[in-house]
């Protein structure tokens, strides 16, 4: 069963552009992982202050293999060493199973 993982990231005021730049320059190793289906970085708008990192996977097992991989460690180490210091103060991982989808006709 396909799964969705959403990392809700609290970003320091005025640091959204820095977070977006870090994602634009990320290692991008996740794209090579078996079972990876997609990634989106969502910028908050009205009523929300957190950024959401949305990833979709073929299965929970594929996601776990990513999290436990050396590529995951490398990618997140790169993000932690970005210039300008930390941009996030807290994050929360949300997990979902995909039970229905729709495609354009």
Q: What is the CATH number of the domain that holds 15?
A: 3.30.70.100
Stretch 42-55: mean pLDDT, rounded?
93
User: Bigger pLDDT: 83 or 41?
Assistant: 41
Stretch 40-60: mean pLDDT, rounded?
94
- Any domain includes 64: yes
- Any domain includes 33: yes
- The 10 Å Cβ neighbour count of residue 41 is 16
Mean pLDDT of the chain: 89
| pLDDT for res 89 | 80
Q: How far apart are CA 13 and CA 33, in angstroms?
A: 33
Instruction: Using alpha carbons, list the distances in angstroms from residue 62 to 28, 59, 98.
Output: 17, 5, 14
Report pLDDT digits (tens) over 77-103: 655 555 666 788 889 999 999 999 999
If you ran DSSP here, which 8-state letter would residue 14 be given? T
- Any domain includes 63: yes
- Any domain includes 99: no
- Any domain includes 100: no
- Any domain includes 96: no
- Any domain includes 97: no
- Any domain includes 34: yes
| pLDDT for res 83 | 62
| pLDDT for res 87 | 81
Domain that holds residue 24: 3-91
What's the number of domains the chain is made of? Answer: 1
């Amino acid at each position: 069963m396909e799964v969705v993982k959403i990392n809700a990231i609290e970003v320091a005021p005025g640091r959204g552009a820095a977070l977006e730049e870090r994602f634009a320059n990320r290692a991008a190793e996740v794209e090579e992982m078996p079972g990876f289906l997609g990634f989106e970085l969502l910028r908050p708008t009205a009523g929300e202050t957190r950024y959401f990192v949305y990833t979709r996977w073929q299965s929970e097992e594929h996601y776990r293999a990513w999290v436990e991989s050396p590529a995951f460690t490398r990618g997140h180490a790169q993000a932690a060493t970005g210039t300008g210091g930390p941009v996030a103060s807290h994050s929360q991982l949300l997990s979902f199973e995909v039970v229905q989808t729709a495609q354009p006709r």
